[in-house]
Amino acid sequence: MTDQIVRDNHRGWIASASFFVLFMLPAMVGQFGVDRPVWATGLAVGGLVLYGVGYVLLPVAVWRASTSWQVSVGVAYMGAAAALSTVATPYIFIWAFALCAVIVPGWWMVPVHGVAFLVLVIVLPGSYMGLLVILLSVTLLCRAVVHMIDVNRELRLARDQVTALAVADERGRIARDLHDVLGHSLTTVTVKAGLARRMLEAGVGIDRALAEMRDVERLSQQALADIAATVSGERSASLAAELVGAKEVLRAAGIDADFPLAVDDVAPEYQEAFAFALREGVTNVVRHSAGATRCEVRLGGRWLEVRDDGDPVPAAANPSRVDGGGNGLTGLSQRLGGIGARLEAGPLPSQGFRLRVEVPA
């Protein structure tokens, strides 16, 4: 139970109990009309005052105490009602039955209330039959209220947990999408800017260098648009579009692209997830595959595979390239979990690196 829920329960009980205690005032005022010593009257009034204060504060004090403490307090308060009934009215038991129904847990309420009720049935004259009905009604009503409070508490806890999970899920989604957007876009921008710089330094291909810089500008604008779409939750990915973009970034990096001509073989429900897998795989080829000159992409109805011919030693030593390693593959694994796909990433036996995504049949 959270502290806020506890405070709300305490405030609610104190407010309602304080109002209910006001009905003790006639019994207190009636003590002054009894012919007895002043000290006896003071003792009776003081006992009723403490009885009322206890009714308000005892549940707050023992709400989270052990069962033994709660039962003991309930029995003691019932005993106080029995003592005060000798100087006041048997109706004083109404508050004792109400309090015990609130603080005595579970089936312990049956013996506590049962014994007190049985004693009152034996001791009280028939004219107090109405009181017995009231005590039974108050007990059932208070117990029902306690049950409603418990249910409301559980609902609030469940709501808070759902909210926390939703916030964590949304943070994870934004982190994955930002990694996909910035990782791929900045890699492409870096490659193209480097290519343009080398052309300008060599004094050749001025027009080509300007074309690359225009692409850098376009990609930067697209990255800004993707970030805005990511934050708003409206971003999606197209496998066909990712193939085109992957060819472009590989070309700028000087890596030959061996790609399929179409994506029709991939089931439509898997294409968006495979698009993110393709983006991550090609980005890692450009960033991490030392000496790679060729990148192959193969597609099937339920699988996608990205291979390169780079040096496998740096790839294997880089934790961001193996399954369960960096943020990219971790986020990709979480995304692929939505379609039940399995991710495999690691160096090939001879040369190169492979990333494979497959949805089990």
Residues 97 and 109 sit within 8 Å (Cβ to Cβ): no
* Confidence (pLDDT) at 316: 47
- Least confidently predicted of 211-215, 286-290, 325-329, 337-341: 325-329
Taken in order of first residue, the domains within the chain and their CATH numbers are 3-124 (no CATH), 237-361 (3.30.565.10)
State the average pLDDT for the chain: 82
Reduce the DSSP state of residue 148 to 3 states and report it: helix
User: Within a 13 Å sphere around the CA of 343, how many CA atoms are in the beta-carbon half?
Assistant: 25
pLDDT at residue 305 greater than cutoff 90: yes
The mean pLDDT of 308-313, rounded to a whole number, is: 76
Residue 85, C-beta contacts closer than 8 angstroms, at least 6 positions apart: 92, 93
At 133-153, the pLDDT tens digits run 999 999 999 888 888 888 888
At 233-243, the pLDDT tens digits run 556 678 888 88
The mean pLDDT of 25-46, rounded to a whole number, is: 87
The whole model's pTM is what?
0.53
Reduce the DSSP state of residue 357 to 3 states and report it: strand
DSSP-assigned letters across all residues of 210-235: HHHHHHHHHHHHHHHHHHHHHHHT--
* Confidence (pLDDT) at 250: 87
Distance, CA of 208 to CA of 186 (rounded, Å):
20
DSSP-assigned letters across all residues of 287-348: HH-TT--EEEEEE-SSEEEEEE-S-HHHHHH-GGGSTT-SHHHHHHHHHHGGGT-EEEEEE-
Give the number of other Cβ atoms within 10 Å of residue 107's Cβ: 7
pLDDT at residue 14 greater than cutoff 50: yes
